[in-house]
Chain A
Amino acid sequence: MEFFTISLLNGVSYGLLLFMLSAGLTLIFSMMGVLNFAHASFYMLGAYLAFQVSEWTNFWVAFVIAPVLVAILGGLFERVVLRKTHKFGHVAELLVTFGLSFVILELVQLIWGRTPVDYKVPTVLEGSLFKLYSSSFPVYRAFMMLVAFAMLGSLFLVLKKTRIGLVIQAALTHPETTEALGHNVPQVFALVFAGGCALAALAGVIGGNAFITEPGMAQAVGAIIFVVVVVGGMGSLAGALIASILIGVAQTFAVGLDWSFIGGLQTLGVTVTPETFGYPVWKLKISQVAPILPYLLLVVMLVVRPKGIMGTRDE
């Protein structure tokens, strides 16, 4: 019971962090049709900028400033580069973001070095929030969940209840009509791109010190957020939320499971010894294959339901 509850909490908090990361990606994709390969790099940039700003001031200033800075950078990139490549089609856009991810990686290594920086959790958020049997649940994880929920809530309100949100939604499905009604659709695109980058940066601000801030952090999450977006359904925020939590929880629980083929075969009355053919495969435990589970899910999902859990694109 203790294991179950703690694992569930760990899984949900990890899933929510994944959601913060993929929300921006799916938003940008649904709006602009751009699969932003540099999205995880904005996550990394958020973490590094937060580290730098918190060195000069404190964590709370960094918490606000870093996403804003990244939003400005993202907006500039959209304005100066992405908009120019737009007319050459989606492949050009994809390639330019792909190139950007390498530029950001090299810049980060030039400025902050190739080794991890010491980006720490602020002392107020250290320690444990509550005790569950013998395990304690850290305050910082609760804080991560809180921020993710707050972000989810405000995103929902902005998109559904405000004027700009309605314009964004209109531009999503009927860009020409929206433009004909006098709205500046390219500017809406820039806004969405900047906003998506800010969300990634916010995830970086709180993920960077929860785990580790290093040049490899973008690559570490880069693949998994694409899994989230594809499994959830391209462009669907609700789908991304479900997929993130699903993957977070599945991965956390998988680490805890020691089932293997050997166990299964033994219940069937087959004995497996180290001499049996294919022993290295049979002895693999679910906990060992946990890291590849999301990618397995991606493949299965593409075969069974290519549009994803909540996807609407049917072509």
Chain B
Amino acid sequence: MNLTIKVSAIAVTAALTLAGGMAHAQNVKVAFIEGLSGPFGGVGQNQLNHYQYAAEQFSGKNANSGVTVQIVPMDSKGSPQEALALFKKATDDGIRFITQGNGSSVAGVLIDAVNKFNERNPGKEVVFLNYAAIDPDYTNSKCSPWHFRFDAGVDMKLEALTNYMKDNKAIKNVYVLGQNYSFGQQVSKFTASMLAEKRPDIKIVGNELHPLGQVKDFAPYIAKMVAAGADTVVTGNWGPDLALLIKAAKDAGYKGNFYTFYAGVIGTPAAIGEAGTDRVFQVGYWHPNAEKNALDATYTGFKYRFKEEFYTVATVNAVKFLVAAVEKAKSADGLPVARALAGMKGKGGSGEDIEMRASDGAMQQALYIMQWTRAGVPGVKYAQEGTGHGFKTVRYLEPKLASMPTTCQMKRP
């Protein structure tokens, strides 16, 4: 009798495995390797909520094929070493897809790890869905066929931002402040070179890097900006590093304008509040007050569920593209899905046509320059974090205009 059970069990397993191979109602695990504790833990938790909500809304019973994306959270504490250990754990568990975004320094080691792993383990390839680490090197000199970035790169965002700044004749003295790691260094380098080219009359009165997540008191930096006579600050800071910077600026009564990447990230809108009215700008690929907002229901649904702002559309796009790629490849293995993802087209957060460019794995999508202003007027429907203020579009660039060339020289397997 024992034997019969065993034989039938084997038969059932075999049948299930076969069915699984045909991509029907598959469960695709994605390891979410992110700092869920430590100085940026708040941002990581919020991004996890985004991903879980996106997986629930855009996969499983809400996808035609029934392909279910299952997010497996893993806490890297924001450290590259921990992230590597978790990557090993994920691959040991047979997970083929990883995602990360907070910290280009972490993304860099993960790209290397994926490249090496895939070289040594043919048939078990892992694909890296990068939702927010935007160091442009990863889609240029260090590009990889296994890496797909759903956010817009520093080069794209700063090209758009400096083009907007170029037309503002009031800008005379610019101060660049960033976090001292790959991303902050790229922002500092690109801002200086792009402004020098587009507006040679603008003076860069300061170009400063501070330790990532260590500074609690930004008052000395604000004093320095005031002393340098800066009328405009460009910063790539995110999370507490931006919220505390803006809080210190508010306390010191600093009147300059801020051009940012991440003013909409959790905790920062509350810090900006009334004091930042019309003075804080952000470059991004979506915002809830966008004219052609295709994710209105997602935004309100997320806000209702978590009492937090929804802003990382890249999580939605990553889930949608992964589901479509698994459907197209009829497989949930790394190699066929990577092939399907390269060049895949879809619809972005503003209903625009987006494309995962095959040559470098960079998402081609629209960009917005937005301004922090009082909500409740036309164009500013939603206020953020109970401040009575929100973003309004001051410039929209369709994907073609937001695109940047790449120097990537990779061969897709």
Listed in ascending order, the chain A residues whose CB lies under 8 Å from chain B are 2-3, 6-7, 10-11, 14, 109, 114-116, 118, 128, 131, 134-138, 140-141, 210-212, 214-217, 220, 251-253, 255-256, 258, 287-288, 291
CB distance from B212 to the nearest CB of A (A): 11
Q: Which of A114, A116, A137 contacts B36 (CB 8 A)?
A: A114
A131 touches B253 (CB 8 A): yes
Give the residues in chain B near A109, CB-CB below 8 Å: 37
Jot down 9 A-B pairs with beta carbons below 8 A, ordered by A.
Answer: A7-B223, A10-B219, A10-B220, A115-B41, A128-B251, A220-B214, A252-B219, A256-B227, A258-B206
- In contact, A288 and B180 (Cβ under 8 angstroms): yes
Whether the Cβ atoms of A2 and B226 lie closer than 8 Å is yes
Shortest distance from the beta carbon of B390 to any chain A beta carbon, whole Å: 20
CA–CA, A10 and B206, complex, Å:
20
Contact between B252 and A138 (Cβ–Cβ < 8 Å)?
yes
Give the 6 A-B CB pairs with smallest separation, nearest first: A136-B253, A3-B227, A115-B42, A255-B220, A114-B37, A211-B216
B219 surroundings in chain A (CB, below 8 A):
6, 10, 141, 252
CB-CB under 8 A from A253, the residues of chain B are 220
Which of A140, A212, A252, A288 meets B220, CB within 8 Å? A252
A-side contacts of B37, CB under 8 Å: 109, 114-115, 215
Known A140-B251, A216-B38: A256·B224 in contact at CB below 8 Å: yes
**A289 CB → nearest B CB, Å:** 10
Q: Mark B194-236, 1 if CB is under 8 A from A, else 0.
A: 0000000000001011110011110111111011000000000
A210 CB to closest chain B CB, in angstroms? 8
A214, B214: Cβ atoms closer than 8 Å: no
- In contact, A7 and B216 (Cβ under 8 angstroms): no
B267 within 8 A of A: yes
Residue among A7, A115, A134, A253 with the most chain B CB within 10 A? Answer: A115
Given the complex of chains A and B, what is the CA–CA distance between A239 and B45 in angstroms? 43
Please tell me if the beta carbons of B220 and A135 are within 8 angstroms of each other in the complex: no
Contact A220 B216 (CB under 8 A): yes
**B39 near A211: Cβ-Cβ < 8 Å:** no
In the bound complex, what is the Cα–Cα distance between A115 and B37 (angstroms)? 6
Are A134 and B226 in touch, CB under 8 angstroms? yes
User: Chain A residues near B270 (CB, 8 Å)?
Assistant: 118
Q: Which residue of A lies closest to B243 (CB)?
A: A212
Q: In the complex, what distance in Å separates the CA atom of A136 from the CA atom of B227?
A: 13
Cross-chain contact A212 with B226 (CB below 8 angstroms): no
The 8 Å CB contact of A255, one of B221, B244, B253, is B221
Chain A residues lying within 8 Å of B45, measured Cβ to Cβ, are 114-115
In the complex, how many angstroms separate the beta carbon of A5 from the nearest chain B beta carbon?
Answer: 9
Residue B348 at the A interface, CB < 8 A?
no
How far is it, in angstroms, between the C-alpha of A109 and the C-alpha of B38 when the chains are bound?
11
Interface residues of B toward A: which range?
A: 20 to 34
Residues of A within 8 A of B38 (CB): 114, 216
A222 to B117, CA, bound (A): 39
Whether A214 lies near B39 (C-beta < 8 A) is yes
- Residues of chain B within 8 A of A216, CB atoms compared: 38-39
Q: Is A114's CB under 8 angstroms from B220's CB? A: no
Asked if B252 and A6 sit within 8 Å, CB to CB, the answer is: yes
Chain A residues closer than 8 Å to B190, beta-carbon distance? none
The residue in chain A whose Cβ has the minimal distance to the Cβ of B42 is: A115
* A138 contacts B251, C-beta separation under 8 Å: yes
Query: Does B240 count as interface, using CB distance less than 8 angstroms?
Result: yes
Residues of B within 8 A of A138 (CB): 251-252
Q: Which residues of B contact A11 (CB under 8 A)?
A: 220
Smallest beta-carbon distance A10→chain B, Å: 5
Minimum distance in angstroms from A216 CB to a CB of chain B? 6
Say whether B226 contacts A6, CB under 8 Å.
yes
**Is B254 positioned at the interface, with any CB of A under 8 Å from its CB?**
yes
Bound Cα distance from A55 to B270, whole angstroms: 18
B223:A135 contact, CB within 8 angstroms: yes
Q: Hey, which chain B residues are within 8 Å of A116, CB to CB?
A: 42, 240, 267
> B239-258 toward A: CB 8 Å interface, digit per residue (1/0)?
01000100000011111000
Q: Which of B214, B217, B227 contacts A14 (CB 8 A)?
A: B217
Q: Whole-angstrom distance between the alpha carbons of A215 and B39 in the complex?
A: 8
**Given A114-B37, A288-B180, A291-B211 in contact, is the A211-B217 Cβ separation under 8 Å?**
yes
Assuming the A-B contacts A134-B226, A252-B220, A255-B220, are A288 and B253 also in contact, with contact meaning beta carbons closer than 8 angstroms in the complex?
no
A212, B253: Cβ atoms closer than 8 Å: no
Residues of A within 8 A of B180 (CB): 288
| A136→B252 contact, CB < 8 A | yes
Inter-chain CA distance A138–B180, complex, in Å, is 28
Chain A residues near B252 (CB-CB < 8 A): 6, 135-138
For chain B residues 125-179, which have a beta carbon within 8 Å of chain A?
A: none
B86 to chain A, nearest CB (A): 16
Which residues of A are found within 8 Å of B210, using beta-carbon distances? 288
Closest chain A CB from B38 CB (angstroms): 6
A220 to B244, CA, bound (A): 15
Shortest beta-carbon distance, B410 to chain A, in Å?
Answer: 28
Known contacts A10-B220, A114-B36, A3 near B226 by CB under 8 Å? yes
Q: Most chain-A CB neighbours within 10 Å: which of B45, B180, B226, B251?
A: B251
Q: How far is the CA of A3 from the CA of B37 in the complex (A)?
A: 36
Chain B positions within 8 Å of A137 at CB level: 252
Query: Closest CB of chain A to B230's CB: distance in Å?
Result: 12
Nearest residue in B to A128 (C-beta to C-beta)?
A: B253
Q: Is the CB of A2 within 8 A of B227?
A: yes
**Shortest beta-carbon distance from B275 to chain A in Å:** 10
Residue from B39, B206, B220 in contact with A7 in the complex, judged by beta carbons closer than 8 Å: B220
Known contacts A211-B216, A288-B180, A291-B214; is-contact A256 B223 (Cβ 8 Å): yes
